[in-house]
Amino acid sequence: MAAHPSHGTWSDRSRAADSRSEPRRTLTRLLQECGIEPGGPNAWDIQVLNDDFYARVLANGSLGLGESYVDGWWEVRDLEGFIYRLLSARLDKKVGTWRNTLAWLIASFTNLQRPSRAFQVGERHYDLGNEFYAGMLDRRMIYSCAYWESARTLEEAQDAKLSLTLGKLGLRIGQRVLDVGCGWGGALKFAAEEYGVTGVGVTIARQQADYARRACAGLPIEIRLQDYRELDEQFDHVYSIGMFEHVGVRNYRAYMNVIRRCLNPGGRFLLHTIGGFESTNHVDPWMNRYIFPNAMLPSQQQIVLAIEGLFTIEGWQRIGTHYERTLLAWRANFERYWAELGAPDERFRRMWHYYLSTCAGAFRAKTIDVWQVLMVPNAR
């Protein structure tokens, strides 16, 4: 008996429908457990525009979620609220994929932050353009968590953060300080103007170094394009703001040894870093691919292990509750700058909107934090 000519087409369509409906049911159920209803009325309910979204996320986890957003496969009015609910329910742990395992294995057997790769994050992220970052950040170009305790604006909050940070070092006129990962030079300029110190700042981003030299012109400050491992000279105090996230756990001990050999007896070291509550060796796959290559967040245990025998901790302050507001201020500046620029690259805009919003959601969920760790060197 001959098959009806339409049977094959119907069967193919049925199988295709089943292949889409099962991922949709699975991911919808997981999202509902987080208080998120696909197509729902709440600001944090995602609106799916491409049915392949469900299978893509289940197959690729956070990478698939971020890439599908950049591709315009889904929308949500409150992106940080959406991410907050995902992370609060630990959905990222329930949808682990082979990509997370692969990232862990690669970082376990390879030093992703070795000297030959040290400048990659500068070239791909920090050298996007000084004008671009000027449109997003405050007037000092501080690209780290602000301190909003008594501040009303981003400018006030970043000044307050610099006062908080540098105030812990006990700086005095004429002292020489080292800024490891100086960015655009804002903190060093603040230190020279407010405390009367001299200083050296190192960065692995060429455009940052050029900008910092101009910004600090006329002050007793030297800006170098240099990897931290090359440092071998003496300073009264050392600080590092938002750079340790690029060091990597395989290099933590070497990093601390560099700081120790550069610090005069009686000096202080202030480490300001984003941190995680679980030890790992790699960053989120989407973040690694599109924003911060070779990055990772330290845990408290990893920091303590790295300083053993070298430093004693004198203070450990958590200020991560201030980062969500900082990120949302940056996002508002970025969106305003992008609109004024009239830039046609919608994918880039969505990528940065996603980056800033998801980080804000993570800090709201308290899955990551910001630490200021004050240390003094142990006797040799």
**All residues at 6 or more sequence positions from 110 whose CB lies less than 8 Å from its CB, including other chains:** none
Is 359 one of the catalytic residues?
yes
CB 297 within 8 A of CB 282: no
Cβ atoms of residues 176 and 236 within 8 Å: yes
Q: Which of 34, 145, 262, 359 is catalytic?
A: 359
Query: Which residues have a catalytic role annotated?
Result: 359
